[in-house]
Chain A
């Protein structure tokens, strides 16, 4: 158990819908990272927050957004969902930038 929790574990929704994925980092970790894992794209970095502020953006679509709350949990919002958004979404946390990242179990999103 990495200490990072993600909910829900599975999510099935229809095209055009909006979903919210939730992540709670390890106790004491200030950085939260979101990654997407798909068969064709592999593991891709989406976005990073540090102590409530956005710090880095990767290959994140405009339809996707995230935030980190004062209690340091983070949410990833995916809207206008398309079939191609079906993937595993991982959250990871670290003490600070460059530190080792601990991954949650992931949320498997299926868009039908």
Chain B
């Protein structure tokens, strides 16, 4: 079974400061991991994904995440926050395809709302 825990339902940073959103996963098989962003009244947009290649993954809008198997973590970072980064961020996990009949459906964390102060 898979699960995702996102530490901190709300995170507030100042513009220009480091953004760190935490995600820990639990998976009985090798996982694929994703970060999605949701702006108000919109659908989810894929920021980046880990699919068992490089452990440091770069995504859109300057975001990146590092897969750490020993810590079962996949934290999202951005060196310098921008006002336009204010949104809700979701971490998601799915078993690697071909393991246990996985069909790729995503298990999401509860989300972290990021606020950016001017």
Interface residues of A (CB under 8 A from B): 2, 4, 31, 33, 35, 42-45, 48, 50, 55-56, 58, 90, 92, 94, 96-106
Contacts and interface: CB of A to CB of B under 8 A. Distances in A.
A90 B44 contact: yes
B102 interface: yes
Nearest to A33: B105
B45 interface: yes
Given A97-B104, A101-B106, A103-B44, 6 more contacts: A35-B108, A43-B90, A48-B103, A92-B106, A98-B51, A100-B49
18 contacts: A2-B43, A35-B108, A43-B106, A45-B105, A45-B107, A58-B105, A90-B44, A92-B44, A92-B106, A96-B97, A96-B104, A98-B96, A98-B97, A98-B103, A100-B34, A101-B106, A105-B42, A105-B43
Interface string B66-93: 0000000000000000000000001000
A49 to B, nearest CB: 10
Contact of A2 (B45, B49, B97, B106): B45
Interface residues of B, number: 24
A2 B44 CA distance: 9
A95 to B, nearest CB: 10
Contacts of A100: 34, 46, 49
Contacts of B104: 31, 33, 48, 94, 96-99, 101
B15 to A, nearest CB: 28
Interface string B94-112: 1011000011111111110
Contacts of B32: 98
Question: Which 7 pairs, one residue from A and one from B, show the smallest C-beta to C-beta distance?
Answer: A98-B97, A97-B104, A43-B108, A56-B103, A98-B104, A103-B43, A103-B44
A43 B43 CA distance: 12
A106 B43 contact: yes
B97 A97 contact: yes
Contacts of A103: 36, 43-45
